[in-house]
Amino acid sequence: MLQVSVLRDNTELVLAGLAKRHYKTAEADVSAILNLDQRRKQLQTEHDQAQAEANDLARQIGGLMKSGDKAGAETLKARTAELKQLTKTHSDELVQVEEALQQTLYKLPNVPHSSVPEGRSADDNEVVREVGTKPELPATAKPHWELIEQYDIIDFALGNKITGAGFPVYKGQGARLQRALINFFLDEARNAGYTEIQPPILVNEASGYGTGQLPDKEGQMYHSTADDLYLIPTAEVPITNLYRNEIIAPDQLPVRNAGYTPCFRREAGSWGAHVRGLNRLHQFDKVEIVQITKPEDSYAALDGMVVHIEGLLQKLELPYRVLRLCGGDMGFTSALTFDLEVWSAAQQRWLEVSSASNFETYQANRLKLRYRGDNGKTQLLHTLNGSALALPRIVAALLENNQAEDGIQLPEVLHSYCGFSKIG
């Protein structure tokens, strides 16, 4: 959530940033926020003045009563009653104005970093670098949805039977590969200095608002209405919310956490090759890395997170590329996002497997997540997160890129984790 002070002091810069996102109602929303903020300050001033006058009259009434001037005291009592009603009216309106201000602030996305390129869609994203050699497969090569059927390692029909489309059942070597990847990713995160967290996979509404999934992505999350809890779309939500309403000591920064969770997303997309098989699911496994830093350290931290994710892909021997997302393709809460994509040799296209983002103070302002600076004043921190990594498309690329007539050869780094070197 953007700070009102930032909107007030840097209005033109904010509007220019929101224009880069192609946010159509930016001027109207920013104007509404500034007007509500002005009304809030006016009401607060009038409320405080009325309260101060009432307090002063109370002292005068006591003196008049002692001196026997009951008529004068009654006159002041009448005025005090008027002031009491006035302060109540101010208080009631103040609650309404503050609620309207909060809800309008929730509507505004984050302002993009200056390095974010112009653009409206994924076609306009900037390729930062491409690493690795794309494998050349024979004409008989199969996409992963045919390979998983051939080797009986993932069953979509069974998942559909017990739950519905987009909920696969992993079996045998497929289940062991899932577990191997999760353990590999967690071990690599721990070796990089991240503390492992195992958070709940259901969160309350406050947590959804804290990291920005609510109200923006309400329709994309599974909602348990009886308990008003949400199944998490990513471990970012519970792990970052561990620090909601906290003041972190400077010597505890940066906070670096990692966690594995299943993730749940209702939007599985339309039918077609681009969403077949493991390309898009309602439930999937992911290891997430989260950092909380001082503002001056956050962009170096983001670069480090991208390097960490690249290291995982290199050890998995997958060709990949790093993209800097354009303004029109960025997530609602992000100030700068790098996507990492792996090459799917059988599908002949790039598959997104990770997003690493710096949210600057956007989430921290919602979370009231702060630290105390050298001047003794509390300041908002910066929050970051990245997928390290999401499993489905990693598995798809591993299966497709490494297929041969006698099975699927796995990268060496996974052999000890799996307990086998080849599927089939």
Give the residue numbers of the binding site: 234, 265-267, 288, 352-355, 385
The annotation places the binding site for L-serine at: 234, 265, 288, 385
Residue ranges for the known binding site for ATP are 265-267, 352-355
What token pair was written down for 109? Answer: 């996305």
Closest CA to 208 of 192, 219, 198: 219
324 close to 306: Cβ distance less than 8 angstroms: no
Task: Output phi, psi for 388, to 5 deg.
Answer: -145, 55
- Tokens 């005068």: give the residue: 60
> Can you say whether residue 152 is alpha, beta or left, with left for phi > 0 and alpha for psi between -120 and 50 degrees?
left
- The C-alpha atoms of residue 216 and residue 357 are separated, in whole angstroms, by 17
Q: Which of 403, 324, 406 is nearest to 357 (CA)?
A: 324
Tokens of 212: 């920005």
Q: What angle do CA 161, 165, 166 make, to 5 degrees?
A: 125
